[in-house]
Each structure stands twice: as structure tokens, then as C-alpha cells.
Amino acid sequence: MNFLSVYPRLLRWALQALLTLSLLSLISCQQLNSPGVGDNSGSATGQPFYQEVLTTLLTSDEVVPAMPPVHPVRTVYNREAIIPPQCYTRTEGKHNPCYVCHQDQLPERENTMNDRDLQEAYSFSDLGMTNHWQNLFEDRSQRVANISDEEIMQWVDQDNYSRLAERLRVSGYQGWIPDLAELQEGTAAFDHEGFAKDGSLWVAFNYKPFPGTFWPTNGSTDDVMIRLSKPYRTAPNGEYSRDIYKANLAIVEANIKGLSSIDSLPINEQRVGADLDGDGKLSITTHITKMDDYVGAAAGYFIEPSIYPKDTEFLHTVRYLGFDENGEITGSRRMKEVRYMKKWQTYPRFVLAQLYLEESYEKELGQLPGFANLHHYGLDNGMGWAIQGYIEGKSGELRANTYEENLFCMGCHGSIGSTIDKTFSFGRKIDGGKGWGYINLKGMPDAPNRGESVGEIATYLTRVGGGGEFRSNPEMVARWFKPDGTVDVEKMRSKDVYQLTVPSRERALMLNKAYRVIVDDQDFIFGRDATVTAPPNVYDKVDNEKSPTLPDVAQYNWDIRLDWQATGIVVGTKLNLNEAMAKK
Amino acid sequence: MYPSSFVGGLSLLIVLKFSVVGWRQGVYRQIFAHIQGLEIFSMRFKVASIAGGVALAVSQLAQAGTAPFFNPLTQSSAVATPNHINELNSPWQVPAGISQVKLTSMSEIEADIEQSVVRVPGLSRGATMWDMVAFDDEGENIFIPHETFVGAGATRYNIEEDKAVTIFAGDMGGLDGSWAEDWGAFDPATYTPNGTVFLGEEWSGEGRIMEILNPHDDPEDIKYRELQTIANVSHEGLRFSRNAKTLYYVDEWNSGSIYKIVFKDKYDYTKGGQTFVLKVKDYDGVPSDNWNDPSNADAVRTGKAKWVPLTNKKGKPLTSVDPFMNGPTNDPRTNDDTRGGRPAADEVGATPYGRPEDMEVGVLANGNEVIYFAATSEKTIYSIEERRGRNAYVRVFASEDATPKNVGFAPTTGVINSPDNLAQDALGNIYIIEDAPNGSDVGGDIWFVRDENGDGEAESVDHFMSIQVDGAEATGMIFNPAKPTQFVVAVQHPDSTDLDAVPGGHGDALWMFDLKDVVPPPCEKTVRPWHAAKYNRGIKTCSYTDDFNFVYALKRAGLYY
């Protein structure tokens, strides 16, 4: 090996070392006075382990980032990462973005978190009282300004999904490997009934994004797919049957939503071998009333209200704000995150109740949250779901989440009271057959939540007093609020979810750039919200005792499910989405 | 087996004696070796009238307690990754001189077609849940209860044969709400004075006590019955009194009560008896509320107390709620199907505690029986001194807030986070086992409670051991009644039990520890006067047990004055 051949490598090493040092220096400057707890005992660098992780993420493009050889909890910067940034919003005694997460148990619901009281007052652990999501307070104005529109548009249009599976395979990855071909293309990956064209048996569904952060106007688009396990897709003889699959998907949907009957995609009852609609004959049906059991090979399997079958999988991609050929905003080809969860253990309701109780005991004892580490399958949320995410690495290629990045998922998918079996989107799917297919906000009415009459989005804006949890979306305020500060419900009534929640091109570009900067920093553990400047309505510290509380009149009972019937687009009507909207 | 329990346990006391006269460490070891060589520890004495009474364990006749016989730890362990060499070879950090040897594990049992163990399919690391194990009298078999939410059962492990066999398990009907032949979450296994085994349902099932009548028989011959005479609660601690007539138990709940049943016939538990719950005299809170609800936050829960009857002497309920009603564990304030012992206790005004869990029964220096129980949510261990009639006295025995740690030794940074199980050695010392680390990176600890003057209030808690197994908690610490320098502790639900996540995982395991090489503390005459055993003139020990078998053993060993 001669000098010349070595030299470029030396140069590379030197540059890498410089970069590392400078980054460490930067991180140190940012973090030395931070409230986070950094464990550096035994660290070779003397730095807290989380900083070693950050350095790895900045200097390596591994699809499964190497972690320090210590217990993963020791690599965590924020042991309370399960508390999302939104929980640090200033309610100021009147603004309530909390109600969509924190609710008491509803009848027949397995969720007994019963945390509605958190609408009233903050109740953090000592560690949690400090807002560790420091990225919220970072001013990215200059760095955002340095990114051109063309550059960011090119960035978000690039495919970073297709290569992920092979890269994981090559790395010897043992967890779930993405198996839905062409997902980056969105709707083109699915047929007219929402089934993946590649035969992977993922099925896309059309749901209304959860209020706040998941609205495009706050930075991201997304999609969700479900897949039931083999017995739910096959006849007793083991042969695949799309009719059986469709029937079981409908039964699961009705079960999760607590419906006694439900519309479905067209199903050939003869192939299913069951009179699903109870009309006394085996024919093609689009309505199911038989809800007490699954069909096909899964007949007789465990079924309880609001609980998914064992091995149910969800695939959720979070994307930038993309632009279609007409310049309209849509889901981008590039993915910010690929999120995967699998119900690897199904617990009956009485066990889930105990698990919630145990969670409360741990909290009462002052213990910080802990979760079983499933390694390449991510973390067990303590309720039977294995959750693993993939996020953009420094280069923009997707990589597996670190332990702490997965930890971030555990709060929303484990310890809040409004979810149904720890999930959000499926219970918010357009009911029945019309809700199968890739997400499409166009034509989707602003359905009210169950038990309410005003559209969910209009209601949310009213209760929150802004266009998102942080009340720092001026465009939403300009669009939907009157000069007197009240929401223009009438104006909103004629709009669909796309019109209500999709930002302007300018805002979309800005939000994309803001997130791009975070990707460049790889410091998702400090927050991944696409903010350019610090939102003014966020606490850096919360005092459980002294921070303003919300009075009773500003607290709300709320059901995550939507009343699609009230919009006239589902059961009992023959209208399709566009017809329904036209009628309105 | 009653007498032999003490022989070994009290042999430790012999060593204490020698320490006073200035013998050196090597001598202690020789004595231990000598005693063990004589197989005194395993002597079997069949006392017909109390056959099996030994399971009362050392504890009931021992007397709390001594100074620590070890140098306490100064910090909790760091937790390693699943199947780490620590998990495989030395899952606990222990003081110098204490040995730890693996008895068995899920991976070993499941690799041998001659062995069996409960593993409920699909429950990952919660699939087997080894909990509070019980020795038989001879210290030869260990009964492992499985705290799985359905399909719960028991496995018998024979130490000498190194063989495990499932002797009892549910049919999984609980998944569909059918508990007729299924059981949930067996937390305690208790070897009874009658040579049977109690298994108690904790947070799953219907709050029942199952009695295995012939626990040493082949699995196909096992006979069992549900004891309808013991109130249905969330069972954890199950311990007998010294005279074997009374069974103490708790309701693990944040408004949990303390119970006892005085059996009509201590040889047949189906004949029932009178059930009581504990009520502190000055308690003026709301019994059905949680211990820390505003209604109870300032209520007095220590001091003079009474055992209030839930039933008459024949076992007939005195309450409107049937204490023996099977049912789920839930809040009786908002449900009407709660297992009966809970609302019945509320009805008579029982004092609520913060999640009572394990118990031990011992003797105070004044000779009164004492019941220790861990109130996990309160980070406190209480002692209940039995007094004349139905009177009792409740004290804080040890707590995170009130009891200093490692007094006289280097301090520890460890914290009593989640006191759960209790154990008792032959000298009456109590050990606190924490429910941790679970998902944390800091090990759960085992604490030695120092109550040298035996007054039911600890002078110190000393950091004894710390577990370093990922995702696990330590359960079931119990001393061997036949070889009291030995004790076992189980590793419950480590991540490595989940074979999907950790292929080849080591799994739940049982470890044996031995104190025989540890230098015991001096038996200070001023603190703990010598006592002359009445069965033999002139033999003096630190014990008040008056156990003739112990004296016999001393004679054989030539180790007495």
C-alpha cells in the first residue's frame, strides 16, 4: 500500500475526526447546561452515551446504527421521551389541545388509562417537568433560508424507501423488513379496494388524520395500511381467500369501532361459507351483521370488543409535503419515517386493565417508564404491541430507529386514554367499504366525532384556539378564524379535509425545509417538529403545582371515532364521497 | 420438616457464639463444614402430629434479628443486555463470600424432553413468570408458581435430580372467561404445615386459593381443590402462624387489607374457621378508598389495632358481601362483581394499605408473634405485633423515607423503590426484594432489614444484593428450611424468556445462594442474651426456640457448652 493510496483515506479520517470533534463540541455547547440526564459512566469518550449515539448518526450511514455496548436505557437522553412535545403547550387556563389524547374509559372500550384529569392540570414526574424537546426552541430561520425551493422540492420527491428492505437484509436485520413494493408511489401501489398490488396483503384505508400534528398544515402527510395474519386471510384448508380477508377486515373494523353491523367491500358469501348479512342466502354482500366471530380459518379465534386480533400489523409512513404534477400538495415520495407495529400478543380486556393498573402503580412509585426491548422489533409498548420505526439518516436514506427514537412512540401508543387498543387511525377510518383504499383527503368531509354535531376540525380549532397543539400556525388562524378570534364554522362547513388542513405552497416549502434541517442534525431525540422559530406557547419548564389549570368548562369528553353517518357518506346511504360533498 | 429446619438455621447461631469467644474466621468455616459433614442440615425428624409443619419455616420460630453478616453494597447494579454473561453466570451482585449457583432455567428445562414447565404460548417474556417459590420440608423440592394471566400452574423442581416437572396447570379457558379449570397469575406458592401446597391467584383469575394435596406425586396423580374457606382477594403473601392454626394473607390492592383466618381444624383447611381483617384503632379514613386518596392521606394507619371478624367462628359471613365470592380484581366502588374479600373488608372498616404484597411471620424479642408485610405503593414494610385476644399493634418496620441505610457501613446510593417480596432467614432477619428493574437499566435490590433489638422497627436497611438481568425482577426469595445457610431467588420475566426476541434465551431461572462462607456477626450478649435451651441443661444459644432437635444436633456435633 503506497502513500498515495492511503492518503485519501487519511484525509477522509482526518475530515471525519474534525467533523466529529466539531459536532461533539456543538452538541456539548448545546447540552452541557441542558436538563437532560446524560449517563457517561464507562463511556470511552467521556461523553454521555446519547452523545455517542448522536455522533454515530452523524458520521455513519448504517441502516442499523451501532449503539454503545451498554444497556440501551443508558443511551437515553430523555427518560421521559414518552411525553411528546405537545404536552408542554401553554393552556393558559382556556386553550385545550389535550382532550384528543386524555380521556376516561368509554363503554366497551379496552382503554382504562382514565387520564382525562390531565386535561385539567399537568402531572409530570420531576424529570418530565422539564421540556427536553430542545429543538422546539431552535431558531432555524437562517438554515431554512439557505435551502432553495428547488432543492427542497427535489429532496422530497426522491425515493428513499425502495432501498430500505435490501439494506436491512444485507445488514442481517432480524426485525420486520418493509415488504410493500412501490409504497413510495402512494395510491399507485394499491388497487381499487386498497389491496397492495404486490400481493403482500397489506390493505390501505382512508382515514381522517388525527387532529393537530398530523394535519398537513403542521408539516407532514401520512398513510396507514393494515394486514391481518394468515388465519384471517385463508379458508380452513389454508388457501388464501380475498373474500374471507375482506370479511374479517370488516369484522375487525366493526369490532374496533363498536359497531353491530358494517358495510364492506363486495364479498362473495359462498366463498366465505357464511351468511354474513343474515339474509338467509349466500350471495354477494356489502353488509355484515355477523359480528360475534371471525370467518375462515380464524373462526373461533379470540374476539373481544375494541381489541385487534393477534399478529395484526400496521404500517404507517410519515412523509413530507409533496407536490403533484399540478403543483397540488400531496404525500411526498420521500418518507420521513416508516412506522411499523405488530400486535404480537393479544391480551383480553381484564389483562389490559391490569396492565394499565400496573402502569399507574409504577408512576405512583415515581418510576420512570420502562419497556421491554424487542431489539430489531423495537419496543413492546407493554400492551402487546411491538413498535419499531425507521427514520431518515444523515444522508436521507431510511435507517432503523435508535432505542430512544422508538421510546418516543411509547407514550401515544401506550399510555393515553383516547386510543382504541393503542391505535389512532383505524378507528377513524371512513366506515365500511368506502373507507378501503389509499388515503385521500379530497372529498373527505369534516365528520364530527361520535356524540358531537360540529365537524371535528372546526371543533378542535375552537377548543384549542389555534391550528395545532402549539397554537403557532398563523396560516390556519388566517384561514379559519374570524377577526374576533372565534372560528368561522360556517366557512369551514363547506370544505373538505384537504381544504381545511393542507397548507399553502409557501408554508409547505418552509415546513419541509425546517424538517430537512433536523434530518441534517440527526437529533430527533431533541424533537422532530418542523418549526422554524420557537413556538411562543410552549413551556420550557412546567410546574405541576403552579402552572395554570383548565376549568371544567374547558374540559371535554371526546370519542376518537367519527360519525361518518352524519356526513351522509356511509352506511344507510348509497352516496360516494364526491356525491356526499356535492350534496353538502 | 420442622425440627431439621432449625438445626441448620441455628448452626449459624453456634457460629455466632464462637465469634464472641474470639474464634477466627477459619474456625467458623470449619464448624460449618463439620456440621454440614454430619448432615445435620438435612436431618429428618418425623414428628407425627406436625408432619409437614416444617413449612412454617424457620421464620415462625426464629426471632428477629441480627446485625448484618456481610459488607453491604454501595450501589445498585447496572443491567446488562439479554443473555449477557452476567445473566448466565452471576445474575446478582452479591457481597463478598456469598456464592450463587444456578439451579435451573427455562432454557435448560425446555432442552430436556424429560422435563416440563409451564410456558403459555404467545406471551413472550410473560409466558412462564416464575414467582414466589416454596421449599418442601426436606429442602429437596421447590414448587414454582407461574404468574401467567391464563394457564397458570405450578412446576416442581427437584434439586438433587435437577429436574423440573409441571404438576398443575390451567386449561387456558380464562381467555374466554371460563375459569372452571383455568387459573390466573399464581403469585404465591406456600408449603403448608400439612405437607400440601397453596397456590394463590393474584391479579388474574378469581382470587382463589388452590390446594395441591399431594405435591410430591406424579403429575397425573396430582389432586387439588379450591379452598372456599379463604376470602377471595388478590393473593400474594400467604404465611402460617407459629402454631399453624392461623393463616395470614393480604389483598394486593391500593386499598388493600390484611386478613387472617383461624382454622377450626388445622389439619383440614376445608373446614374453615373465623376470618378477620385488621383495623387500626385510630384509623378514621374511608376504607374503600385508596390509601393515598385525600380521604386517607392523613388517616392514622399505625398503632393499636384490632382484628375485626368478617365471619363468625364457623366461617359464616357477618357482612352483606360474601367474602368468599369468586370474581375479578377491580374497584368495588364502581363494580359489583369484585372478588368478595375486598368489599367485605371495606364493609367492616378495615384499614387500607398501599398495595400489600408479600408477608412473613416471625417473633419479636418480647416473644409475640409478628407479621411483616410489604406495602409496595408506600415503599414501606409494616410489622403487626400480635397481642392478647384480638389485639395487635402496627408499626412501620422499614421504609424508604424513615429507615437509614447501611448504618455503620459505607453508604449506598440504592433506593427502596418497589418493595415486593419478603424473606426471612433462620435468625429471623427479614429481607426485602424489590420488583425491579423491569425495563430500567438499574438493578432491583434485595435489602437486609436490621432489627437487632427485635422491637418491630428496623434500625437500618442494608444493601444486600442487586440484580443485573435485563427486563427481569427478582421473586420468590426463600431460605432452605433444611439447609438454612442456603436460599433461592428466581429471575422472573427477563427479556430472554421471549424466544422470538432473544433466540436461545436463557429465560426465567432459579438461583441458589449460600452464606456458609460469610463471617457472621458477633452475638452480642448485651443485645441478645444467651438463652438456655430447656431441652438440655447448660446449652446456650442465641435462640429462644427451645428446639430439641437442635440440641440433639449440637450434641452429635459436639458443639455445645
Same domain membership, residue B413 and residue B560:
no
Q: What is the mean pLDDT of residues A216-227?
A: 98
Q: What is the mean pLDDT of residues B5-10?
A: 31
Residue A348: its chain B contacts at CB < 8 A? Answer: 174-175, 177
B340: left (phi over 0), alpha (psi -120 to 50) or beta: alpha
Same domain membership, residue B542 and residue B404:
no
pLDDT at A353: 93
Contact yes or no for B379 and A354 at CB 8 A: no
Share of chain B above pLDDT 70, in %: 81
Q: What is the mean pLDDT of residues A474-490?
A: 97
Share of chain B above pLDDT 90, in %: 71
Chain B residue with Cα closest to A367 = B417
Helical (H) or strand (E) element with B29:
helix B25-37
pLDDT at B427: 80
pLDDT exceeds cutoff 50 at B469: yes
Same domain membership, residue B416 and residue B542:
no
Mark out chain B residues that contact chain A at CB-CB < 8 A.
78-82, 122-126, 149, 174-177, 203-204, 254, 292, 328-330, 355, 376-377, 379, 417-418, 436-441, 470-471, 495, 498, 500-502
Q: How far is CA B285 from CA B279, B288, B299, in A?
A: 11, 9, 5
Question: Tens digit of pLDDT for each residue in B210-228?
Answer: 999 999 999 999 999 999 9
Tell me which long-range contacts B403-407 makes (C-beta under 8 A, separation of at least 24).
Answer: B403/B458, B403/B459, B403/B460, B403/B461, B404/B459, B404/B460, B404/B461, B405/B72, B405/B460, B405/B461, B405/B462, B405/B463, B406/B72, B406/B74, B406/B460, B406/B462, B406/B463, B407/B450, B407/B459, B407/B460, B407/B462
Contact yes or no for A310 and B417 at CB 8 A: no
C-beta of residue B62 within 8 angstroms of C-beta of residue B543: yes
- The 3-state secondary structure of B222-249 reads CCEEECCCCCCCCCCCEEECCCCCEEEE
User: Given B149, B254, B438, which is nearest A351 (Cβ)?
Assistant: B149
Handedness of CA B415, B418, B424, B425 (dihedral sign): negative
Q: How far is A379 from chain B (nearest CA, A)?
A: 10
Q: How far is B239 from chain A (nearest CA, A)?
A: 25
Question: Tens digit of pLDDT for each residue in A67-107?
Answer: 998 889 999 999 999 999 999 999 999 999 999 999 999 98
Phi first, then psi: what are they for A496, rounded to 5°?
Answer: -95, 175
Top-confidence range, A198-207, B436-445, B475-484, B510-519: A198-207
**Three cell numbers at B434?**
424489590
Give, to the nearest 10 degrees, the angle between helix B25-37 and helix B548-557: 110
Residue B126: its chain A contacts at CB < 8 A? Answer: 345
Same domain membership, residue B416 and residue B330:
yes
Nearest residue to A308 (alpha-carbon basis) of A383, A236, A409: A383
Contact yes or no for B78 and A369 at CB 8 A: no
Residue B501: its chain A contacts at CB < 8 A? Answer: 372-375, 377
Nearest residue to A309 (alpha-carbon basis) of A208, A418, A415, A423: A423
Confidence of residue A570 (pLDDT cuts 50, 70, 90): low
B-proximal residues of A, 57-86, CB under 8 Å: 70-74
C-beta of residue B234 within 8 angstroms of C-beta of residue B258: no
Other Cβ atoms closer than 10 A to A483: 6
Q: How far is A368 from chain B (nearest CA, A)?
A: 8
What's the number of CA atoms in the CB half-sphere (13 Å) around residue A262? Answer: 30
C-beta of residue B496 within 8 angstroms of C-beta of residue B506: yes
Distance between start and end Cα atoms, chain B = 26
Same domain membership, residue B123 and residue B16:
no
Q: How far is CA A84 from CA A87, A310, B447, in A?
A: 6, 28, 36
Chain A residue with Cα closest to B127 = A345
Same domain membership, residue B550 and residue B478:
no
Same domain membership, residue B399 and residue B290:
yes
pLDDT exceeds cutoff 50 at B59: no
Q: How far is CA A7 from CA A1, A12, A13, A37, in A?
A: 10, 8, 10, 40
Confidence of residue B48 (pLDDT cuts 50, 70, 90): very low
A153: left (phi over 0), alpha (psi -120 to 50) or beta: alpha
Question: Tens digit of pLDDT for each residue in B501-529?
Answer: 888 999 999 999 988 776 544 344 444 44
Chain A residue with Cα closest to B126 = A345
Q: What is the mean pLDDT of residues A388-404?
A: 98
pTM: 0.84
Contact yes or no for B500 and A377 at CB 8 A: yes
Query: From the candidates A364, A371, A407, which should be mutated to test the interface with B, based on the most B CB atoms within 10 A?
Result: A364
**Three cell numbers at A232?**
384471517
Contact yes or no for A371 and B439 at CB 8 A: yes
| Residue numbers of the domain that contains B446 | 52-528
Contact yes or no for A365 and B328 at CB 8 A: no
C-beta of residue B192 within 8 angstroms of C-beta of residue B201: no
pLDDT exceeds cutoff 90 at B383: yes
Q: What is the mean pLDDT of residues B479-508?
A: 92
Same domain membership, residue B271 and residue B230:
yes
More confident residue, B480 or B45: B480
- The 3-state secondary structure of B386-436 reads ECCCCEEEEEEEEECCCCCECCCCCCCCCCCCCEEEEEECCCCCEEEEECC
What amino acid occupies position B549? N
Same domain membership, residue B282 and residue B165:
yes
pLDDT exceeds cutoff 60 at B493: yes
Distance CA B70, CA A413 (A): 45
C-beta of residue B88 within 8 angstroms of C-beta of residue B491: no
What amino acid occupies position A459? T
C-beta of residue A2 within 8 angstroms of C-beta of residue A9: no
Give, to the nearest 10 degrees, the angle between helix A3-31 and helix A49-59: 140
Contact yes or no for A71 and B81 at CB 8 A: yes
**Residue for cell digits 438554515?**
A143
Q: What is the mean pLDDT of residues B536-560?
A: 44
What CATH number has the domain bearing residue B189? 2.120.10.30
**Three cell numbers at A381?**
409498548
Work out the mean pLDDT of chain B and round it to a whole number. 84
Q: In chain B, how long is the greatest CA-to-CA distance?
A: 66
C-beta of residue B41 within 8 angstroms of C-beta of residue B11: yes
Task: Assign A376 to helix, strand or coil.
Answer: helix
Structural domain total, chain B: 2
DSSP string, A139-161: --HHHHHTS-HHHHHHHHHS--S
Same domain membership, residue B545 and residue B499:
no
Same domain membership, residue B18 and residue B149:
no
pLDDT at B63: 55
Task: Assign B276 to helix, strand or coil.
Answer: strand
B-proximal residues of A, 103-142, CB under 8 Å: none
Q: How far is CA A94 from CA A20, A97, A542, in A?
A: 46, 10, 17
Query: From the candidates A350, A410, A415, which should be mutated to test the interface with B, based on the most B CB atoms within 10 A?
Result: A350
Dihedral, B326, B330, B331, B335 alpha carbons, nearest 10: -60
Q: How far is B137 from chain A (nearest CA, A)?
A: 34
Distance CA A160, CA B49 (A): 78
Question: Tens digit of pLDDT for each residue in A130-167?
Answer: 999 999 999 999 999 999 999 999 999 999 999 999 99
Distance CA B373, CA B351 (A): 14
User: Given B176, B417, B495, which is nearest A373 (Cβ)?
Assistant: B495
β-partners of residue A420 are A423
Give, to the nearest 10 degrees, the angle between helix B25-37 and helix B2-20: 160
Q: How far is A381 from chain B (nearest CA, A)?
A: 11
Query: From the candidates A347, A365, A371, which should be mutated to test the interface with B, based on the most B CB atoms within 10 A?
Result: A365
Distance CA B497, CA B491 (A): 10
Distance CA A498, CA A478 (A): 16
Please indicate if any CB of chain B lies within 8 Å of the CB of A345: yes
Chain B residue with Cα closest to A349 = B175
pLDDT exceeds cutoff 90 at B286: yes
CA B116 to chain centre: 25
**Residue for cell digits 420557537?**
A534
More confident residue, A260 or B529: A260
Distance between start and end Cα atoms, chain A = 76
Whole-angstrom Cα Rg for chain B: 22
Distance CA B238, CA B226 (A): 15
pLDDT at B69: 82
What amino acid occupies position B372? Y
Query: From the candidates B81, B120, B236, B469, which should be mutated to test the interface with A, based on the most A CB atoms within 10 A?
Result: B81
Task: Assign B479 to helix, strand or coil.
Answer: strand
Same domain membership, residue B561 and residue B464:
no
Distance CA B513, CA B490 (A): 11
pLDDT at A37: 55
pLDDT at A13: 46
Question: Tens digit of pLDDT for each residue in B121-143?
Answer: 888 899 999 999 999 999 999 99
pLDDT at B122: 82
pLDDT at A566: 92
Beta strands in A69-204 (DSSP E): 203-204
Question: Tens digit of pLDDT for each residue in A35-74?
Answer: 345 677 777 788 999 999 999 999 999 999 999 988 899 9
Residue B123: its chain A contacts at CB < 8 A? Answer: 345
Give, to the nearest 10 degrees, the angle between helix A149-157 and helix A505-521: 70
pLDDT at A374: 86
